[in-house]
Structure 1
Amino acid sequence: MTAFVYVSPESVTVEVFGVDESYWIINGPRADRDVITLATSPKGIGDAPVTTTYKSSVYQRGATFQGKRYLKRDITFGVNIHGRDEEEWEKRDSDWRNAWDYELDAWDPDATLTKLQISTDRSTRWLWLALDKSVEFESERDPHLLRKSLVPMAVTAAQPMWEEPTKTTFWETGAGSSEGFIEVSNPTDLEMAQKWLLTRGKWRVPDVSWTGKKYRRTPGGRYGNRMIDLPMLGDREGGARISLDPDRLYVRDLNGTNLIGRLGGLHFMHRIPPRTPPTLLPISVTDAPAGGARAELRQPRLWSRAWGLR
């Protein structure tokens, strides 16, 4: 088993937000090494797990790249649990286990998985984790007598990318018709599935293709000026939500009704490529109500690593 270790004040901050709403600092300058601390040799927090596919013909030299697939992220680590007496150790050991579960609580509509968050001076990113295997326990002697233990953890992130706070830009206008620009960017190393939140009115929103080297990408190519005309969004719809995330309903009104059938066969095609600098995209609305209209462009920030890559 891994030995107990001292947590350096210069270490990155590692926080755990439990399914039971508990909160733990297990590494970094604010961690209390007399409570619970991260042990050495954690595995799985680096690059997101990827498999690649290649194909070769009979007489081909080598192979041709076909694609890549991101897998779930498996993480193993250990925590040192301490107590001043056997009762305190046992309570902390129990509380730590209660911070984790294998799945969402089916009876709690607000349930989340356990959040593991890592902060440096330059970024704060997190994963949502579930137990992958039962929590093992090994000890040469009764930990009640030792008043300490090392608990190995095996956890899984079904969504393997580290998250940062979503960036939101918006464009607002008064009643009637207007046109303008809204800013989009993607500094991450991954393609971004942008989301739109639109109020009432008849909107024309961008769906452009991109071209250019990393950090210098611009709208261009075959669909460099592509726009999507949405159906009129009135009081019945209340507005619209658009998501390019393949796991989400594509276009719906604010009541959750699918609007794809009213797009006349059109569909959104283009997500935002990695390393896209801040760029202004055109947007317009007609028949905005007396209170005006607002478009929000929500830009998730997902990274394949817990820090760096900017």
Structure 2
Amino acid sequence: MQITLIGTSGMRWPVHGIERHAGLTLSEGGVEGLIDSPVETQWVEDTEMGVVFGGVRYLPRDMTLGFYVSDALSDETEIGRLESDFRMDFAAQPDEWDANFQHTQVEVGSDLSGERRLTMQLREAPELKTQRDPYTQQFYDITYELRAPMPLWDSGKEVTVFEGSGTSGSGTILVSNPTDTPLRQTWVLTRGKWTLPDPSWRGKRGQRAPSGPYAARTVALPEITSSDQGVRITRERRKLHAMTFTGSNFLGRMNGQWIIHDIPPYTPPTLLPISYTNAPAGGARAELHQPRLWTRPVGLEMPGLS
């Protein structure tokens, strides 16, 4: 694996693998919490005997990363500068004065899985071992305790598109989920009156297909007007389900007809029906944003499924 930290400044710090910073490396035995996402299984007591499985909840990921930092091996001429700059690239809280602030990211690259990222912030102050004066020795043995509030590894997102040039149109849009976690999709829609697919799914891993009690379910949206400019509808839990491009709540106009189904893990590429009417001259466009989130930084792909 190639492991690189991307600091709050945007600086890249390669700490393990073929590429590595001359004066900075992961310490031996100093890595914990890197691989599987922590989960908590939930159970409901049965009235007669035992318990019934109630679901799984992903917990925040706590990660320990230990580093060896060497002034003598770095390109810096000022003693202590490397360790200081590295420490500055971590934060315990967002920078409220910086609208583009980004917490530190851990990036893991591999031939098997490409690149996946996890966003981390300091959980507590770093611990610098000081049995000897590190500035005299020009060597620092330091441990960072980090937390990822969202514990899944992100390999980017797939965006598929349906668009038409007329005031009405119909066709299909491509949906897939090659990951090991349910996919919470987002629709981005221009003006018009849309009918979106929202089927329930059934089938073995790699063979999921619209099936079950809502196999043909669609959601007919109220018209998206010029004052709305467009609408974003999302299954993401921490965001408003439906909002216009101007920032107003679109949810109240949907009369309870929400997008209710996630895309299951290991769903093969599948074409779903989509249509619109009442679009302005020039047509309409729908984007389906499909994040790729994994419980591990490497692996868990199903061969032949992409």
Same fold (TM over 0.5): yes
* Equivalent residue number for residue 95 of structure 1: 85
- Give me the identity figure in percent: 38
State the one-letter code of the partner of 1:54: W
* Equivalent residue number for residue 287 of structure 1: 278
Alignment of 1:64 onto 2:72: no
Indicate conservation of the 8 Å contact 2:166/2:283, yes or no.
yes
Q: How does 1:1-310 map to 2 (within 5 A)?
A: 12-32=1-21, 34-41=22-29, 42-57=31-46, 59-60=48-49, 62-84=50-72, 88-122=78-112, 123-310=114-301
- Report the CA distance between 1:84 and its aligned residue: 2.5
State the one-letter code of the partner of 2:82: R
What secondary structure does 2:129 align onto?
Answer: coil
The gaps in structure 1 that reach 5 residues or longer are: 1-11
State the one-letter code of the partner of 1:201: G
State the one-letter code of the partner of 1:18: G
Q: Distance in 2 between matches of 1:58 and 1:226?
A: 35
Q: TM-score, normalization: structure 1?
A: 0.92
- Report the CA distance between 1:57 and its aligned residue: 4.0
Name the Cα RMSD after superposition.
1.5
- Report the CA distance between 1:89 and its aligned residue: 4.0
Q: Distance in 2 between matches of 1:253 and 1:53?
A: 36
Aligned residues: 297
Against the structure 1 CA distance between its residues 216 and 153, is the aligned structure 2 distance closer, same or farther, given a 3 Å change threshold?
same
- Report the CA distance between 1:58 and its aligned residue: 6.4
Q: Distance in 2 between matches of 1:145 and 1:163?
A: 41
| Displaced runs of 4 or more, over 3 A | 55-59, 85-89
Q: 1:48-92, CA deviations, whole angstroms, 9 ceiling, x for partnerless residues?
A: 1111122344652x4321222111000001111111289534000
Q: TM-score, normalization: structure 2?
A: 0.93
The gaps in structure 2 that reach 5 residues or longer are: 302-306
- Report the CA distance between 1:275 and its aligned residue: 0.7
- Report the CA distance between 1:239 and its aligned residue: 1.2
Against the structure 1 CA distance between its residues 234 and 53, is the aligned structure 2 distance closer, same or farther, given a 3 Å change threshold?
closer
State the one-letter code of the partner of 1:49: P
Q: Distance in 1 between matches of 2:72 and 2:36?
A: 38
Q: 1:132-161, CA deviations, whole angstroms, 9 ceiling, x for partnerless residues?
A: 011111132211222111111100000000
